[in-house]
Amino acid sequence: MASIISSKRCKNHVILSIEAGQDELESLNGKVDNICLIPKEEINIRSSIYEKGRKGCTKYFLIPKTLRKNVKLGNDIYCSKLNLKDKLMFTFITNYTLTNENNSTRP
């Protein structure tokens, strides 16, 4: 995991100095723009994996209700995998629209 070692506030942004290991730098594949910073402590909502098929060969990441409340997810979903020392981090990204759950139609 990388660490922020210093920060400098400017008018509309912050300049960060980041210390990262070789594996973090390699995972960027040379791309240094449009980077999202997520502290490990913010990944704190428990989820699970649903397995299907012979010997659980197909796996689905389940999105907890608290994260999908009042949200309609898009159909185009992209994902990536980051290998950490002792964990795998999967990231999914999609478009969404906000919904009003009170007006939604449910079967």
Confidence of residue 77 (pLDDT cuts 50, 70, 90): very high
* 26, 52: one domain: no
One domain for residues 53 and 104: yes
Q: For position 101, what pLDDT does the model report?
A: 64
What residue numbers bound the domain in which 4 lies?
1-32
One domain for residues 16 and 50: no
Q: Are residues 65 and 97 in the same domain?
A: yes
Three-class SS state of 100? coil
Same domain, 60 and 21: no
User: Within this chain, do residues 53 and 97 fall inside the same structural domain, yes or no?
Assistant: yes
Q: Are 43 and 23 in the same domain? A: no
Same domain, 28 and 56: no
| Tally of structural domains, the chain | 2
* 52 bridge partner residues: 58
Do 22 and 74 share a structural domain? no
Contacts of 85 (CB under 8 A, 6+ apart): 23
Q: What is the DSSP code string of 19-61?
A: E--HHHHHHTTT--SSPPP--GGG------EEEESGGG-EEEE
Q: 99 or 1: which carries more pLDDT confidence?
A: 99
Is 105's pLDDT higher than 50? no
Based on the domain organization, do 59 and 85 belong to the same domain?
yes
- Model pLDDT for residues 13-68, shown as the tens digit of each residue: 999 999 988 878 888 888 888 888 888 899 999 999 999 999 889 999 999 999 99
Whether residues 67 and 104 share a domain: the answer is yes
Contact 37, 53 (CB under 8 A): no
